Amino acid sequence: MSEKCSNCYGQGYNIPETGPCPKCSGVVSAGKSKSINLMDLSEKNLNSFVSGVCDICGGTGIYEKKEKCEECRGKGVIYHCVRCGKTIPYLNDGGEEICNACLSSGCVHKLDNSCDYNDLASGKLYIGIVDGVVENLGAFVKLNDGIKGLLHEKNFDSSCSSLSKGDEIIIQLKNINRSGRDVKLDLVPKKPAKYELIEVEKAFPLTPVGSMTSKDNGKTVKFTGEVLQVKQTGGPTIFTISDETGQVPCAGFSTAGQRSYPEIEAGMAVSAVGEINLRDGAVQIELMSLKQLPAEEAAALIDKIETAVDERAKAHDIPFLVKSDVLEKLRPSMLQAAKEIRKAILRSRPIILRHHADADGITSAIAIERAILPLLREISGPDAEYRAYKRSPSKAPFYELMDVVKDVSYAVEDEIRFGQPMPLIVMVDNGSTDEDVPAYKHTQVYGMDVVVIDHHHPHESADDYLIAHVNPYKVGGDFGLTAGMLCVETARMIRPEVSDEIVHLAAVAGVGDRSESPECAQYIEMVADRYPLEHLKKMALSLDYEQYWLKFGSGVGIIDDILDLRDHATHLRLIDMLCSQADGMIKDQLEVCLPNVKMTELKSGAILNTIDVEKFAHKFTFPPPGKTSGEIHDIMCNQKYPDQPVITLGLGPDFAVIRSKKVLMNIPQIVRELREELIGSGVNGGGHLVVGSIKFVEGAADIVIPKLIEKLAEADVEK
């Protein structure tokens, strides 16, 4: 703190005496001599002689005696020590307003790693770490990772006799000796009785993370942000830090495999200084300093980042590929789902993509996958898809406990080993029913948010656990608008550039799920020049066939080839081969099953066909019971009972697969009624309103099946 000197009024001098000029008394001629020796004149006197102006008073005739102000030492300014408030006449060698007393005893400086030798000042106290002791020479002391000086043995005091490597010591910088590039520090030990520790870091302008490019290689920068992830490698510790403009990996190194900056955890707001380097062509910061920000500053920064990320995460509100009133009504929820997925990517949050293991579920997942992988690589680096993304099929059309336990287990392990945040779960072609709730309770415990894009009949209980839910039933639609169609449109909202690449997936999904919706017809027509209807059917069958053998595998690459997302020639060869095998196995299965189908006409007029797939079908092979029941149902509807309401039941020892046409049933409601009416039967299941499955305990089959048929008979039929 400085102020104008009150003694001299900021002039730097005082005037103790004034009077008439002793040389000219104000009269110019009086100052002239009758005769003058020009050789004896000074330049000033010569100018005065030539101009006729007195060189003492300047022609004013008044003499002023000026004396340098002792209070401010001629500076005109008085300074006050920022530590003790004492008046000081000038700044110290470091340009600080600190008196010598405070400088030598009250302030001890701790240098940040960003500081170099140019940031040192003689006379100041510093805290250092003994880096080594050499007999007959002294101790080498590190003031930070880049500054080292010698505490010579001649300067040792009694406290220095037991110094050893790693000891903390307070020293005074007595002198700085520079010789070219070499800098030598002369240090002496100090023991201030009372002092304040002042952390010193080099003054750098703040650099937005998003502005750092490969052109800045080697540049030292300072930035602030939130730590998204802390990952310990065999070498450095990698901190992923994000500000409102982007994110960057930062490497901190102390010892190979040892945690650097152990006080810094994910979620903290920090200030960082480091050098920009390139790793695999991408920017990485080699950290010099990493510090947690004060609480108030941290809260403001986190709020700023959240606001910016929320704005950047907004989905693209673009026109749909087809005309659909249902899609338009779903637009807000689709935009919300797309935003949550984009936000997870921007926050380096892992994504687990769960999908039903059929053609509709697979195309749903692939559509979303093709949209998010380029964003993942762009935001988090070229290897992000391997460490921050996983796609997994689910056998059931809901989130089974077996699946969620795996997901939670892997997520917790990744959090412990690699500092990964808990993932976002994206459920497609499943996730809307009350059967999903037990799994969602697992995700809720661990903070794993869930987004659902589905066309199964929803249950309101699931919504309590979801941050976004897209389902046509919620706006008056039905299962005819399949999950694959919904996901293609949502994927375009995530990343519009993917549109041409995935448009045919909506048509494959509709064909695979036997959709008769007007939207499906439009999607099929849209790609008819590239993929005729028979070609779409072959892709859908190939997906069902290959996924059966993949079981719980994602089929990376193979699924892309089936959907013509890589090499077209391979695609054609592959689906021809897969369909040939699948058709042969379906034919073999039907030859066994069809003679054993039992037909009954219900009181509603519907034709009920039942087949015991446990006794009259090949087991543990393709097609599985659900697919087998569907193939039988198609034959009954198209060949034996065209234009009639038809129900097909595929029965097993503890399950029933239901397929229907022109019957107005509600399978989820039937399941709830059976569960309430048949206590002890273990009834559960669901699916679409007219297509689904029911499970029960094997011993209750004789009670459950007749009761199920009774309820099916009560369902109205289309006239």
Q: Is the pLDDT of residue 459 over 80?
A: yes
Segment 125-135 shows an average pLDDT of 90
Q: Token pair of 313, please?
A: 């995460």
Dist CA 415 CA 407 (whole Å):
12
Confirm whether 81-200 and 209-312 share one CATH topology.
yes
The third-level CATH classification (topology) of the domain covering 597-717 is Diaminopimelate Epimerase; Chain A, domain 1 (3.10.310)
Q: Given pLDDT bands bounded at 50, 70 and 90, which one contains residue 534?
A: very high
Per-residue pLDDT at 102: 61
Q: Given pLDDT bands bounded at 50, 70 and 90, which one contains residue 34?
A: very low
| AA identity, residue 174 | K
Q: Is the pLDDT of residue 4 over 80?
A: no
Q: Is the pLDDT of residue 498 over 90?
A: yes
Q: Token pair of 569, please?
A: 């020639």
Share of the chain above pLDDT 70, in %: 91
* Angle in degrees, CA 230, 233, 236, rounded to 5: 80
Dist CA 235 CA 245 (whole Å):
28
Beta pairing, strands 107-111 & 125-134? parallel
Per-residue pLDDT at 2: 65
Q: Token pair of 225, please?
A: 């942000």
Query: Can you give the pTM of this predicted structure?
Result: 0.77
- Within 8 A by CB and 6+ apart from 5, the residues are 12, 69, 71, 72, 75, 76, 77, 78
Q: Is the pLDDT of residue 31 over 50?
A: no
Segment 591-601 shows an average pLDDT of 95
| Class of CATH domain 81-200 | mainly beta
pLDDT digits (tens, 9 = 90+) for 229-240: 998 888 999 999
Per-residue pLDDT at 85: 64
Beta strands in 145-191 (DSSP E): 147-152, 168-179, 182-189
The third-level CATH classification (topology) of the domain covering 325-531 is inorganic pyrophosphatase (n-terminal core) (3.90.1640)
Segment 396-413 shows an average pLDDT of 93
* Angle in degrees, CA 306, 311, 313, rounded to 5: 90
Segment 263-271 shows an average pLDDT of 93
- Answer with the residue of higher pLDDT: 607 or 102: 607
Beta pairing, strands 182-189 & 196-200? unpaired
- Answer with the residue of higher pLDDT: 254 or 336: 336
- Whether the link from the prior residue into 623 is cis, omega within 30° of 0, is yes
Per-residue pLDDT at 32: 45
Q: Given pLDDT bands bounded at 50, 70 and 90, which one contains residue 29?
A: very low
Buried b (16+ CB within 10 A) or exposed e, 36-59: eeeeeeeeeeeebbeeeebbbbeb
Say which range, 19-23, 410-414, 461-465, 494-498, has the weakest mean pLDDT: 19-23
CB atoms near residue 206 (< 10 Å)? 10
pLDDT digits (tens, 9 = 90+) for 339-396: 999 999 999 999 999 999 999 999 999 999 999 999 999 888 888 888 899 999 998 8
| AA identity, residue 584 | G
Per-residue pLDDT at 58: 66
Quick one: 209-312 is in which CATH superfamily? Nucleic acid-binding proteins (2.40.50.140)
Per-residue pLDDT at 223: 95
- Answer with the residue of higher pLDDT: 571 or 198: 571
Please report, for the chain, the start and end positions of each structural domain, with discontinuous segments joined by +. Answer: 2-68, 81-200, 209-312, 325-531, 597-717
Segment 54-65 shows an average pLDDT of 70
Q: Token pair of 712, please?
A: 């099916």
Per-residue pLDDT at 145: 85
Q: How far is CA 554 from the centre of its chain?
A: 24
CA quadruple 461, 467, 470, 476: dihedral sign: positive
Q: Is the pLDDT of residue 256 over 90?
A: no
Contact 480, 327 (CB under 8 A): no
Q: Is the pLDDT of residue 127 over 60?
A: yes
Say which range, 11-15, 177-181, 548-552, 578-582, has the weakest mean pLDDT: 11-15
Segment 293-322 shows an average pLDDT of 95
**β-pair partners for 284:** 277
Q: Is the pLDDT of residue 673 over 50?
A: yes
Per-residue pLDDT at 570: 97
Segment 255-269 shows an average pLDDT of 90
Q: Is the pLDDT of residue 44 over 90?
A: no
Q: Is the pLDDT of residue 80 over 90?
A: no
- Answer with the residue of higher pLDDT: 81 or 594: 594
17-21, 213-217, 386-390, 499-503 — most confident range: 499-503
| AA identity, residue 140 | F
Q: Is the pLDDT of residue 30 over 60?
A: no
Q: Is the pLDDT of residue 499 over 70?
A: yes
Q: Given pLDDT bands bounded at 50, 70 and 90, which one contains residue 15?
A: confident
Reported residue count of the chain is: 719
Segment 199-228 shows an average pLDDT of 91
Q: Given pLDDT bands bounded at 50, 70 and 90, which one contains residue 180?
A: confident
Residue 522: what are its φ and ψ, rounded to 5°? -70, -40
Q: Please name the residue that has the structure tokens 């030859």.
A: 591
Element of type H or E holding 603: none
Q: How far is CA 332 from the centre of its chain?
A: 23
Dist CA 589 CA 586 (whole Å):
5
Dist CA 36 CA 58 (whole Å):
20
Q: Given pLDDT bands bounded at 50, 70 and 90, which one contains residue 39?
A: low
Residue 199 DSSP SS3? strand
Segment 616-644 shows an average pLDDT of 93
In angstroms, what CA-CA distances link 496 with 342, 500, 503, 517?
A: 13, 9, 11, 24
